[in-house]
Amino acid sequence: MAPPGKKRKGEKAKNGAPPLDPEAIDCEWWDTFFLRNSSLSGVRVPLDEDDAFKYFFRASKTTFSYICSLVREDLISRPPSGLINIEGRLLSVEKQVAIALRRLASGDSQVSVGAAFGVGQSTVSQVTWRFIEALEERAKHHLRWPDSDRIEEIKSKFEGVYGLPNCCGAIDTTHIIMTLPAVQASDDWCDQEKNYSMFLQGVFDHEMRFLNMVTGWPGGMTVSKLLNLSGFFKLSESGQILDGSAKTLYQGAEIREYVVGGFSYPLLPWLITPHDTGDDPSDPVLAFNDRHEKVRSVAATAFAQLKGSWRILSKVMWRPDRRKLPSIILVCCLLHNIIIDCGDYLEDDVPLSGHHDVGYSERYCKQSEPLGSELRGYLTEYLQR
């Protein structure tokens, strides 16, 4: 007799399908999917099969296999209920990951994604959420603040490419737009453009990798308030990050570690914003702002890549669960980093062609700390030498 609660090898699951073999790798799902979707009308699928794979799932086959390895144990040990395909078999880990990635990458409806794989809407919903739960837990190491050696490398790259010394990253925000049920549609979530939205704030390195992110807050608040509520603010203010070695620029001028941000952010000792050229349109100020903008554009480009790759974030989300939406956003950020960490490249037409926050203008933040202004002055002078 098998022990209570355990099944003998080969015994069928309660739903009548054989259990998944944890060692089995499903290689057939792609052939079936490609045959079904490679010649869809109105869709320009690359002819090369490897390029087509990246077109559909944003990751190479090698990176896809790595993502499967991260979530395999969770998807096998706690599979969503009733996930049987039309052949009467449990969906393989590979097919589950493919369904979730396609849903996140395309932003298409659950019905459309299901039709592409030959499964129902409820299956797409269950698979996608189970994948999100698993990756959120298993891929944490792909999004964390760098150690001191890595920070030194980041600072060196920013200075070498953009000329700003001791810079550790670029910070920016973007809106994730939602359509909320009337019962949830409060003014807190209504932003300056009269959309219901959720904020996403990210700090990026020179390779457009997330170093820190925060989401879950209403898009109607100011960027400066979002910053103050973030863990990044608390860590920076307490000296737990951005507290590495300072750099001497010239005699009497030393610059600490910092990140750069736009006019929506306050000017702080560890967050350097541009000069207001209306107050001082001099050549040194314009030169500093030009360098500053080039660094800040790293964050803007990163958000364009994020929203272009994982288009569920750039389309209007229809009545999302506000408790689940932060997890969806986080997993897209994790996938963004995994693609970079695995050395994958993006096709040229993947990033959004326009700005990542079309229709939103920066709201000027007047907050300015004297030490932040002094350090920005040092940098401005340094760039003229």
Using one digit for the tens of pLDDT, what is the confidence trace for 221-262? Answer: 999 999 999 999 999 999 999 999 999 999 999 999 999 999
Rounded distance between C-alpha atoms, residue 80 and residue 112, angstroms? 20
Give mean pLDDT, residues 72-83.
Answer: 77
Residue 314: name the closest of 354, 264, 265, 362 by CA.
354
pLDDT level of residue 83 (50, 70, 90 thresholds): low
Using one digit for the tens of pLDDT, what is the confidence trace for 150-205? Answer: 999 999 999 999 999 999 999 999 999 988 766 566 677 889 999 999 999 999 99
Say if 62 falls within a structural domain: yes
Rounded distance between C-alpha atoms, residue 54 and residue 60, angstroms? 5
Same domain, 268 and 372: yes
Q: How many CA atoms lie within 13 A of 300 on its CB side?
A: 16
Would you call 346 exposed, middle or buried from its count of C-beta atoms within 10 A (0-12, 13-18, 19+)? middle
Same domain, 158 and 306: yes
Say if 9 falls within a structural domain: no
pLDDT level of residue 8 (50, 70, 90 thresholds): very low
Q: What is the pLDDT of residue 281?
A: 81
Same domain, 253 and 335: yes
Same domain, 226 and 336: yes
Q: What is the pLDDT of residue 14?
A: 43
Same domain, 237 and 103: no
When the pLDDT of each residue in the chain is averaged and rounded to a whole number, the result is 89
Say if 17 falls within a structural domain: no
The pTM of the full predicted model, rounded to 2 decimals, is 0.90
- The least confident of 110-114, 192-196, 278-282, 366-370 is 278-282
Q: What percent of the chain has pLDDT over 70?
A: 88
Say if 67 falls within a structural domain: yes
Would you call 333 helix, strand, or coil by DSSP? helix
Same domain, 105 and 211: no
Q: What is the pLDDT of residue 275?
A: 95
Same domain, 124 and 193: no
Residue 305 · residue 270 · CB < 8 Å: no
Q: What's the longest Cα–Cα distance across the chain?
A: 86
Same domain, 148 and 74: no
Using one digit for the tens of pLDDT, what is the confidence trace for 38-53? Answer: 877 667 888 899 999 9
Q: Read out DSSP for 52-96?
A: HHHHHHSS-HHHHHHHHHHHHHHHHHSPPTT-B-TTS-BPPHHHH
Same domain, 131 and 213: no
Domain that holds residue 225: 143-383
Say if 21 falls within a structural domain: no
The last residue of one of the domains, among 96, 119, 141, is 141
Cα 143 to its chain centre, rounded Å, is: 10
Residue 235 · residue 241 · CB < 8 Å: yes
Would you call 108 helix, strand, or coil by DSSP? coil
The last residue of one of the domains, among 111, 141, 171, is 141
pLDDT level of residue 79 (50, 70, 90 thresholds): low
Say if 16 falls within a structural domain: no
Same domain, 150 and 136: no
The last residue of one of the domains, among 141, 162, 179, is 141
Number of domains in the chain: 2
